Amino acid sequence: MSKKESTFLNMTITLFIITLVAGLSLGYVNDLTLEPKAKAKLERKVNALKQVLPEFNNNLVDEVTLIKSDKAKDNVEVYTAKNNDNYVGTAVVGSSEKGYSGLVKIMVGFNPDGSIQNIVVLEQKETPGLGTKMKEVKFLNQFKGKNPSQFNLKPKKDGGDVDALTGATISTRAFGEATQMAYDVYTETKPKN
Amino acid sequence: MAEQINQKENFLKGIIKDNPVFVMLLGMCPTLGVTSSAFNGLGMGIATLFVLVMSNIVVSLIKSQIPSKVRIPAFIIIIASFVTIVEMVLEAYIPFLFEQLGIFIPLIVVNCLILGRAEAFASKNNTISSIIDGLGMGLGFTLALTILGATREILGNGSIFDFKFLSDNASTLILFILPPGAFIALAYLTVLFNKTTSSKTN
């Protein structure tokens, strides 16, 4: 078992071959997983939509409208749900950069009267066991049926109406901000009856 | 390469005598970072186990072809490739776990346990021994992370594997879910582990 000598040529060739094989196999796996990855993402979105909206039967994912808002970096996704062509609600993806570890992204479903139907957390990197409790029903339930025009989305500490998560006021604040953003976009885009 | 390795011992050493977390204190970044719940610890452990076994196989297969001066970059490329594969597969098929582990999956690359085993074991031994070494070390790592995660989850959240055994309003030691709690729990578990194993062997 003789080792290859560390000559310049040997080293270059070895590293070249290893990176080539690595690159090719990664490309292959990427191709293989591209479709399931997109599918998993879409499934999550559809599930979130089903959770935050009343029953609907139009194809929401294809009918997304992107709204520009000065509060968000990217365009805001707005989904208008219809059941047999009757307007039943709007889902808006709200986000805030002010979470404890950056981005908090949520989907808020609004009833036609402007009250919150339900909220689902899409993305967050909050502290496990503290900020992550924003995903729990217990926290989310306090928003259900509330209309943000009468319900201050700030935590109680800041003079709002939201019961903050224990030990995670910053996460709660970001959550409220994201919800507020969703509500602002919703009021801008609400279909006129 | 004359000496015969006792494979049973080779396998068991990773779990008890040379446990990567409690004895060798390797791979501390994921150990402290992801173990806020038993499930996270288990998931991270299995992902690491897979990468460890695969990189051990490849390194032991091509060890004679790698000039010793570039062995570290060569090992790192091999490890990084497997980590990226794990990341893509998790994202495609187990998106839930992918979301939970987040940044810690790419960080498996810099887990010194994996490079350590490639350098210290796989580059000197044959493929069979390297697979068994990888399995033993990986299992030891998984067990340690799961135990640590479970301890922190029980103390800090009153639950285990997301199964709550305390009422929602019961006060728990939140500290154990937070980063400082990871250090405290790890320290006590290390003491406990070494106390029990050393009294057995003596």
Interface touch A33/B89, C-beta < 8 Å: yes
Chain B within 8 Å of A142 (Cβ-Cβ)?
no
In a domain, B198, yes or no: no
In a domain, A27, yes or no: no
Domain that holds residue A123: 51-189
pLDDT of residue B40: 83
In a domain, B112, yes or no: yes
Chain A within 8 Å of B89 (Cβ-Cβ)?
yes
Q: How far apart are CA B130 and CA B146, in angstroms?
A: 24
Q: Tell me which amino acid residue B201 is.
A: T
Q: How far apart are CA A172 and CA A135, in angstroms?
A: 11
**pLDDT per position as a tens digit, A41-53:** 888 888 888 888 8
What tokens appear for B195 in the block?
């106390």
In a domain, A181, yes or no: yes
CB pairs under 8 A between A and B: 87
- Chain B nearest-CA residue for A136: B168
The number of domains in chain B is 1
Better-predicted residue by pLDDT, B92 or A192: B92
In a domain, A177, yes or no: yes
Q: Sort out which chain B residues have CB atoms less than 8 A from A25's CB and list them.
A: 81, 85
B40 neighbors B98 (Cβ within 8 angstroms): no
Average pLDDT, chain A: 84
In a domain, A139, yes or no: yes
Domain that holds residue B145: 2-151
The number of domains in chain A is 1
In a domain, A61, yes or no: yes
pLDDT of residue A90: 87
User: Do strands B159-160 and A116-124 pair parallel, antiparallel, or not at all (unpaired)?
Assistant: unpaired
* Residue A105: exposure state from Cβ atoms within 10 A (0-12, 13-18, ≥19): middle
Of A6, A25, A33, the CB nearest to B92: A33
Shortest distance between the Cα of B177 and any Cα of chain A, in A, equals 6
**pLDDT per position as a tens digit, A5-52:** 778 888 898 899 999 999 999 999 999 998 888 888 888 888 888 888
pLDDT of residue A25: 93
Give the residue-averaged pLDDT of A184-189: 84
In a domain, B173, yes or no: no
pTM, whole model, 2 decimals?
Answer: 0.76
**DSSP H helical segments within chain B, as ranges?**
7-13, 28-33, 38-62, 71-93, 95-101, 112-117, 127-157, 179-201
Q: How far apart are CA A179 and CA A176, in angstroms?
A: 5
B66 closest CA partner among A87, A19, A158, A73: A19
B141 neighbors B53 (Cβ within 8 angstroms): no
Report the complex ipTM: 0.73
Q: How far apart are CA B41 and CA B32, in angstroms?
A: 10
Please report, in tens digits, the pLDDT of each residue of chain B (202 residues total).
445 678 888 888 888 888 888 888 888 888 888 888 888 888 889 889 999 999 999 999 888 888 888 888 899 999 999 999 988 888 888 887 787 777 678 878 888 888 888 888 888 888 888 999 999 999 999 999 999 999 988 888 777 877 777 776 667 777 888 888 889 999 999 999 988 887 655 5
Contacts of A59 (CB under 8 A, 6+ apart): none
In a domain, B175, yes or no: no
Q: Is the pLDDT at A120 greater than 80, yes or no?
A: yes
Shortest distance between the Cα of A6 and any Cα of chain B, in A, equals 5
Chain A within 8 Å of B68 (Cβ-Cβ)?
yes
User: Do strands B159-160 and B163-164 pair parallel, antiparallel, or not at all (unpaired)?
Assistant: antiparallel
Counting residues of chain A whose pLDDT is more than 70, the rounded percentage is 93
pLDDT of residue B1: 43
Q: Sort out which chain B residues have CB atoms less than 8 A from A6's CB and list them.
A: 67-70
In a domain, A19, yes or no: no
In a domain, B159, yes or no: no
In a domain, A6, yes or no: no
pLDDT of residue B146: 92
Chain A within 8 Å of B165 (Cβ-Cβ)?
no
B95 closest CA partner among B104, B87, B83, B107: B87
